[in-house]
Amino acid sequence: GFPVLAASLMGLLVLAIGACNVSSMRHLYSMARRQPRRGTPAATAATPRMEELDHLILLGLMTVLFTICSLPLIVRAYMGAFATDFNENADLSALRFLSVNSIVDPWVFIIFRTSVFRTFVRRVCQR
């Protein structure tokens, strides 16, 4: 019963975090749409429209990474509870996959910071 309980709670947490992040992304998108376009007189006083979109992309990427890294452990916990085969290597791989999230998230945040991301996009678009 413990693996099912742990996997269910972890699944609920992943769903709750995903729902909250999707709600935040929706609000960031609506904030970006309300901002005046660049070049209009009202745009000089407002925060740039790209800032909300940069945060939206960053939050979306981190949410997808978190979900992808968490699902293998949840699946392995359910499989371990209901399946008769015992595959220790698959269980260890699922745990390693979950630990990758804590390693990759700071790097994603550093690489896709607003200034670095805008510089990267400008260089790619120029080519």
**Residue range 103-127: average pLDDT?**
77
pLDDT at 53 over 60: yes
> What pLDDT is attached to residue 14?
94
Judge whether 77 and 4 are in contact, CB under 8 Å.
yes
pTM beyond 0.85: the answer is no
Q: Which of 55, 54, 36, 53 is nearest to 45 (CA)?
A: 36
> What pLDDT is attached to residue 64?
93
> What pLDDT is attached to residue 16?
96
pLDDT at 39 over 70: no
**Residue range 92-108: average pLDDT?**
90
Q: Give the model's confidence band at 90: pLDDT under 50 very low, under 70 low, under 90 confident, else very high.
A: confident
